[in-house]
Amino acid sequence: MINMEIDFKDALEKIKENEDIKKSLKDEYFLNSGIAIFKPGENGLDRWIITFYSSKEEEVVQGIVKKNGDIGFEESAKAINPSTEELDPDEIKVTAKEAIEKAEEERERLECGDRKTNQIIISVKKEQGRQLWEVNLISASLSLFQARIDAKTKEVIQSSSESLLKTEGDIPFTQ
């Protein structure tokens, strides 16, 4: 069961209302991405981190929305390998919860690895002109299932599964 008390678009609206963020975002900043990391079923989603990017300044500003409604703010910092395409929230028709459910369905369909999800990392961004959800399902046995899902149509664009306990030579990690 996925416990998401606040979706990306709701978090974005809260961020846009915050005075500190309004002051920090100059005209050249645009919505770049959103990311959430959480454990399903327990405490659910803890927070959304929403990033705005300025190609002119090569900097990012981040707003953080916690599930209790508190809003945090990270002033501008140097961008490290950012996506340079503007994310359009109006083009995001699929919710984060629906994207996670679609990724779980895809993992089940492909019969990939351990199906008990221990942690989820989900992000939304625009890449090659397409709004995408990237869903990472991590199991207790450190099996990783990744799915890229079109945020408009819910189509699975790409998916893969791998163990996080393997090295470059595909030899299992040992201590």
Tell me the per-residue pLDDT of 81-99, one tens digit each, with 9 for 90 and over.
777 789 999 999 999 999 9
Lowest mean pLDDT among 43-47, 131-135, 159-163: 43-47
- pLDDT band of 111, cuts 50, 70, 90: confident
pTM of the model: 0.85
Mean pLDDT of 133-144: 90
The helix/strand/coil state of 100 is helix
**pLDDT for 88:** 94
Domain assignments of the chain as residue spans, ordered by start: 8-163
Residue at token pair 């998916």: 159
Give pLDDT, residue 75. 77
Q: Quickly count helices (H) and strands (E) in the chain.
A: 3, 8
CB atoms within 10 A of CB 141: 12
Average pLDDT along the chain: 84
List Cα–Cα distances, 151 to 82, 93, 156, in angstroms. 19, 6, 10
Q: Supply the pLDDT for residue 165.
A: 77
In this prediction, residues 111-119 reach a mean pLDDT of: 78
Is it the case that residue 3 has pLDDT exceeding 80?
no
Confidence of residue 173 (pLDDT cuts 50, 70, 90): very low
Say which residue the tokens 């201590």 belong to. Answer: 175
171: Cβ contacts below 8 Å, ≥ 6 apart: none
Contact (CB, 8 A) for 56 and 84: no
Q: Which residue did the predictor score with more confidence, 112 or 154?
A: 154
Core vs surface per residue 10-22: b (16+ CB within 10 A) or e: ebbebbeebeebe
pLDDT in the model for residue 157: 96
The band of 169, judged by pLDDT with boundaries at 50, 70 and 90, is: low
- Greater pLDDT, 2 or 12: 12
Q: For residue 131, name the pLDDT band (cuts at 50, 70, 90).
A: very high
Compute the C-alpha angle 47/53/54, nearest 5°: 155
User: Of 62-66, 78-82, 90-94, which gets the smallest average pLDDT?
Assistant: 78-82
For the sheet with 156-163, list strands across it: 71-78, 59-66, 44-54, 30-39, 117-127, 130-139, 143-150, 156-163
